[in-house]
Chain A
Amino acid sequence: MKAMRLKPSSYFLIALMAIAVFLGVVSMTYASPKDWVVPLCACGVIVILGAIQLREEIMAPPEAAVEAKPADDDDDDDDDLSAVTSEETDPEKELPAFLWVLGLMVGILLFGFLVSLPVFTLAYMKWGARRGWLVAFVSAVLMETCFYLVFVVAVRTHLYPGLLFGGML
């Protein structure tokens, strides 16, 4: 008998199913059918189809999974709004790139847009894009100036001041 191995996609599916089960149970506590029928059906679809998909993923031989991948990549659906091909991107940089965005978000939440923006630009250009100090500094100043002129002066957008400077969640 072959050993069953969970793939990363299986963990994602299991997490989705667990959330669906939890929300399905919560929905059953609602009094009116108008409140629980649709959420319960949605949860049911996720759990049932998720279980079938999980079974297929577990049972599929690893070779088939490897062969199936390029076919999926060739898919030219409108689904993907980006057209960057794998040769131009480095998949290992995905997590760092996400962490940069996350860092910017945390910075904005704490210090607001006007403080976080130049700091983020300077830090990203210097350590993320590995540019020189001069390029990083000029980019940060330009970015801050453009952002201020466009959104504060021209569009009069209210920029979040940050929790430390009186902003509210």
Chain B
Amino acid sequence: MLEAFVQGLQTIFSPATFLPILVGTIVAVFLGILPGINASFAIIVLLPFILGMNPDIILPLMVTFMSVGNTGGSISTILLGVPGDTGNAAIVLDGYPMQKKGQGARGIGAALTACTSGGILSVFMALALVPILLPMIYRFRAPEMFLMIMIGIAFLALLTKRSRKKGLIATALGLLISTIGFQAKTGAARFTFGSLYLYDGIGIVVVMFGIFVVPILVEMGTMTKPLVPPGGALTSKSYRQMLEGARDVVRHFWLWFRSTVIGYIVGIIPGIGGQVGMWVAYAQAKQTSKDPESFGTGRVEGVIAPASANNAKTAGDLLTTLAFGIPGSGVMVLMMAAMVMVGIQPGPQMLTDHLGLSFTLVMAVALANAIAGTLCFALAPYLLKVTTVHPSFLFCSIAPLVLLSVYTHNEVALDMPVLMIMGIVGMLMRKFDYPAPPLMLGFVLGKMFEYYLWQSLTIFGPTFLVSSPIAIVLLIVVLCTFNIDSLQKLRDRFRKPPAASTTGA
């Protein structure tokens, strides 16, 4: 393991990996500031162009985009009152009032310091967890893998805050789309209707772009005006205030530490998504404060807590995705899709066959955070100018790029009309509140789901679900997740005081 750690360290600081991380961080910070586009959106668009590269470059680049989008976003969140990324929603509560009070630069300094240091600390916590996970991973065989996929689907589809039925329908739809084309075991062509195009199935890029990118692109086309910072934008004189904000983080060390741990732990739990961590961190900051009523009026603690939790989630989220093949959040589904596209299967073999790469990816989170923090501190007053770009320019430059990305992947022109069809599905899903990540997860895991199902049945027979103690535990987790509603009702029944009998007595 030490060897893999050193290998990961060497890879991350080799020019071939370091330079893309540096460039990726700069781009992610810029895009994070722009409301309407975020780093994840950008990486999907750019993915087909970089697919030919070494996984040691592509995957750290993806991790970079996902780790530091929030860092840049915290600047526009505090100054404009509009979260550049949904991940910054809690920062706006106290950050924007700070800006109104003329302390915007101090808030930015605090947010940047908390984001950066929280992200770096979470990496150390993730690295410490790897030796604990490793012995567990070695015991995973086909039935356990099948059940892990079921858990991944169940967590993302059922633990979504939206309708669980809609989550499951989206997952089943993704699974159904993944069955188009040749069946790997039998070679039979399914749902091709004689079309040669469909024999290889619908490409992962086409589905991903259709479901995620087209709806956002269309939304961008509906934006009416650019977001220009109100009166008190940052100037070069704001650096003193920003340093004061950094000192605030040191002054509130325990709050920062608690919030980072909360963000990291919530990030580890599959399906919940890091934003829950951000809100929990904000709530605990308020609860533990001597003056909770003043939260929301521009308290620096209200910026430090969510900012720390925000970037701390990525390392935990990434570890769950790598080790178990279960995405911690919707964004990590994209990471999984990218891994599949470069020929690496997320899951236990990431900690066995690709341990060096796993270390590289986790360390990329720390490196990207360090670069982003430094960059934002140095250039904050100038970075904000990005928000003055009119959305119409973005729309007409990104629309051709999206179509080119899809075409470039396979150089098949039919991918473009299929993209538009998937785009309509994506837009309708968005309009009627069907979550997109479960569809993508169902699609990405569909082939693996079928493979492990038939593999388990062939080797262990129909009792494969109870073929080992680990499988039994996983099966219980799956059943509990699918019956979460009944379990919650049962819990509520036990908790509720017997009102009727008390009255009667």
Contact = CB atoms under 8 A, between A and B. Distances in A.
Contact of B172 (A32, A45, A94, A102): A45
6 contacts: A78-B330, A78-B331, A88-B36, A88-B227, A89-B219, A97-B220
A167 B412 CA distance: 10
Contacts of A101: 214, 217-218, 221, 399, 402-403, 420, 423
Interface string B4-48: 000000000000000000000000000000011110110000000
A72 B407 CA distance: 35
Interface string A33-72: 0110011001101100110110000000000000000001
A82 B216 contact: yes
Interface in A68-117: 72, 75-85, 88-94, 96-98, 100-102, 104-105, 108-109, 113, 116-117
Nearest to A43: B176
A50 B223 contact: no
Interface residues of A, number: 76
Interface string B164-179: 0110110111011001
Contact of A83 (B85, B176, B224): B85
A128 interface: yes
B275 interface: yes
A39 B190 contact: yes
A23 B414 CA distance: 22
A157 B52 CA distance: 12
B36 A84 contact: yes
B392 A125 contact: yes
Interface residues of B, number: 95
B139 interface: no
A113 B435 contact: no
Contact of B392 (A13, A124, A169): A124
> Can you list the 6 inter-chain pairs with the closest CB atoms, starting with the nearest?
A97-B221, A129-B392, A45-B172, A9-B432, A78-B330, A93-B222
Given A52-B165, A83-B86, A157-B49, A120 B186 contact: no
B293 interface: no
B186 A46 contact: no
B397 interface: yes
A20 B160 contact: no
A160 B407 contact: yes
B436 interface: yes
A20 to B, nearest CB: 7
Contact of B160 (A38, A79, A84, A143): A79
A147 interface: yes
Contacts of B188: 30-32, 35
B484 to A, nearest CB: 15
A52 to B, nearest CB: 6
Contacts of A116: 400
Contacts of A52: 165
A141 interface: no
Contacts of A91: 222
Contacts of A93: 221-222
